[in-house]
Every structure is written in structure tokens, then in C-alpha cells.
Structure 1
Amino acid sequence: MGGRMARSLQSAAVTPSSPTDLPSDPPADAPAGDKPTGEAHPLHRRLKSFVKRGGRTTEGQARAYEQFGPRFLLPYRAEALDFAAAFGRQAPTVLEIGFGMGEATAHIAALMPEKNFLCCEVHEPGVGALLKRIGEQQLQNIRICAHDAVDVLDHMLPPASLAGVHVFFPDPWHKTRHNKRRLIQPPFVRKLADRLAPGGYLHCATDWQPYAEQMLEVLSGEPLLRNTAEGYAPKPDYRPLTKFENRGLKLGHGVWDVVFERR
């Protein structure tokens, strides 16, 4: 999680993007780059779920791919995931979208050995870094799907199958004309809420106040969710301060957590 977190959906990829679908699931052959027309919401068209970003995989990360990939990498398949088969046990499962270099992911998984963590990231060095942490810390409760999380949500995760969702530091798309590219938008949040079991939680975090305000507004507008706090939530103990976040705090930057529960 060093640096930007959920870039698997809006940036930080080294593979071609997969299209994001509508709540109404448009046809597979719909063009990915069409510009919105009329009053259509930008998420009502096929969007790229991430864009290409360069990155070099280190020798250590490459070794981790070879050593731990066969066990901890899950292939994307357009069919419902068998959680017990994937993790070797039945346990509450938390989805993490875009884990960066895996620092926070490994920390949280170690704190919560009773939970399974399904982690989506397409940035190869980040996947290699998390595999390396899995080996170093002997973590057993993480599985990685190196694929667009939107496809994973749509085709691998049945309704009410998740105990939680983490979306930490998604790309804020600072420029106003790019705000429509932000991940946390009503159609996507509806997908997440639908996959949460009753009592499950959705935890978003950002260091960009305008995005925090958008997150709070969008999640508050989703009827399947309720806020666990009066506005922004205190930082849950399980979410560690990363080097990136500590650096920002020292510079006077704020960090906002938003935690909602499935009704």
C-alpha cells in the first residue's frame, strides 16, 4: 500500500485494460473508449478500469512469483468462486481492491488470521511484492487475483458473499474534468453493496478531501448501506499508517476514513 492504493481500477496496470460494465451489463462488444453523450452518467458507458503504468519487477519479486504464485495466485474465471476450495477453508472473506505494494494488506491479514483476503491488483511489481511478503511472513489467508476487480465482482463474486471490502487510497483524479474517472461512483458502490453480506462493511480511505466528500456522499446515497459513524469514521485500528500516509501527515495533509455497513 505504499503510494496510491486502488490503482488496479483507475491506474497502475501493466496489462491492457478490461472494460467496466454498467449496472445493466451492456454487451461485451460495446466500445471501451466512447465519450459520454447527452445526460448519460459517465459510468453508464464502458470505461477502462485502469490505465497502463510502467514498473520494473525486481529479482526478489520475480522469485516470489515462481515460488509462491502457484499457490497464492487465483486465475480469473467468469464463474462463481469456490471460496472453500480457493482458500482451503470456509471463513469470512474480505475483498481488497488495489493493494499497491501490499504493505497494508499483509499487515491486516496477519492481524486477522480468522479471515480470508481476496486481493485484486494488476500492477505486476505490486503483485510480486505482496507474494514476497506472504512468503516472508508465512501468511496463509491471502489469495491474489491479478485481474480487473470489476470483472471479478461481476463474474466471480455472488451476492452477499463478502464480509468486507477495502478500498484504500484510490486514485483521486485531482482535476475537475477527470473527477468522473474516480472509482467511487454510485453504480460501482451498488455492485459492492450487493456483494456484501448483511452486516458486512465497506471501508474507503483517501488523503484528498474533495474525494473524501464524494465518498461520503456516494456511500450515504446507497440505500443498502448505513454509516457506522456521524460522518467520517475514526481510523480503524487494523488499517496501518503507511510510509506514504505518514509522509503526508507530516506535511499537514489530512486522511479520511469512511466505513459503512450493509443493512
Structure 2
Amino acid sequence: MPVSHSVESSAESFERVRRAYTDVMTVAAPEPQSPAMARLLEFVFVEVWQRPALSRRERRFVTLACVAAADAETPLRDHVYAALNSGDVTITEIREAVLHFAVYAGWPKAARFNMIVDELWERINTENGLEPPQPEPLLPMATPSDPEDRLATGEQAFKDINCLAFAPTRDNPYSGAGILNFVFGEMWLRPGLGRKERRLITVTCVAFQDAPYPILSHVYAALKSRDLSFDEIDELALHFAAHYGWPKAAHLDQTIAEQKQRVSREWDAEAG
């Protein structure tokens, strides 16, 4: 009996999903349990992950932040495994991503993220018949150890990274010991992860928080610094929507639109 056109189309559609899913996740695609799940897999892996404005590697950092924040154990395990097993993200980079995530999403969630990274890195090496290599040495630090130099470094980094002419004061633990000493005096300057990757993680994290100023300031800085292009940050919003949810992505998208206008005006003024 001839196969109907609809069955052929369904089979062809799932074959596209299977190839795309396997390419991203490095394991075989699950059999969809419903038409809705089949369509969801097709949208996420065939349409979103294959779009050109962000590379697959760059999408890893957005995705990891989303699933680590969502307290979704299986997706977190799946995406940590895929990021490492694909070779898109090195163990040094993903460990650095955990630290960056801890600052912008919270240490308790990052603790679970870190445990899963260690567990799956060991699994990947075991699957390949290897002993997990020794981690990168913590010392020496790349940033100053002298307290005054470290605070001064943090002040300058705060200005550079946030594209601002000022830095917060040193007169309380939050801004002095936290923001200047650690976040900008140490973390943003660590060599294990590039500035662009840190922007991707940061914008993702502030997008799922309900704190209005951080989302505005970090979207602005990502664009004003040109670390992320207009097309790239629009793509980040779509990827974020697929992996964390459309309501919060709608707020991110609105903020992006506003900050693109602001940055464009500033660039026009600077150009004379």
C-alpha cells in the first residue's frame, strides 16, 4: 500500500528533528510522545538552534544558564553533557561559566550546577577510556592581590564593562567587597572565559530575575560595548524564550528594543 503524503511528511519531519537533536545533544533523539512534543522538538532543535546569528557554541552558554536556573535536573544534565561531549565548551570554560552564573543567579543553584559538571566530566572521560585530567591551577590569580590595587582594578573594570563613567563607592560590603573587589576586581577579568561569553551568561541571568535595573544596565552594556551585536542579542532573546519561557523573554525583548534605540542615539551623537 502506498504511504500517504502526510505520513511521508511526518517521517521526513522527524528525520530532520533526529539529525538536529543528535547534532546538538550528541545523543539519539527521543521518540516524541505526542504531536505537540514533536512540534516542540522541531521548533527548538531544527529552527532555533540552527539559526545563524549565534553559533552553536554561543548558544550553549545561554542554554546552560537557563536550565541551571530553572531547577530542571534532567535538562541540566543533558545540556552539560552535550556542551562538554560535543567539544563546544571546554571543562575550563564550563567551570568558569558556573562561577559567573553563581554571581548573577545565586550560589545555591550554582552549587548543583557545579556538582553536575564534575559528575558528567568524569562520565565523559570514562566513556572515552580516559582519566579526568587535573583541573587548571587556581594560583596565581590573574588579578592583583594587594587590596588597594584590587579595588582600583575593580573600579576601572566596572566602568569599562558597564560602559559608565563612574563606579560604586567602597563604603559598604556589597559595593566594596562584593562588586568592586570580587565581581569586577576578579571574576569578570578571569582568563577562563571571554568577554562575549560572559555577556551571554549575564544577560540570560538578569533576564530571568525580576530586577529592573540589572536587565537594563547589562543589555545596554552588552550593546554599547559592541560585545554583542543587535542581531546577536535579538537571537539571544529568542533562544532564551525557547529554554526559559516566553513571558520573561517578552520583557527582555522590550528592554533590548529600548536599549538599541538608546545606544543608536549615543553612537550617532559620538559620530558628530
Larger Rg: 2
TM-score scaled by structure 2? Answer: 0.29
More strand by share: 1
Asked which structure has the greater RCO (Cα within 8 Å, sep 6+), the reply is: 1
TM-score scaled by structure 1? Answer: 0.30
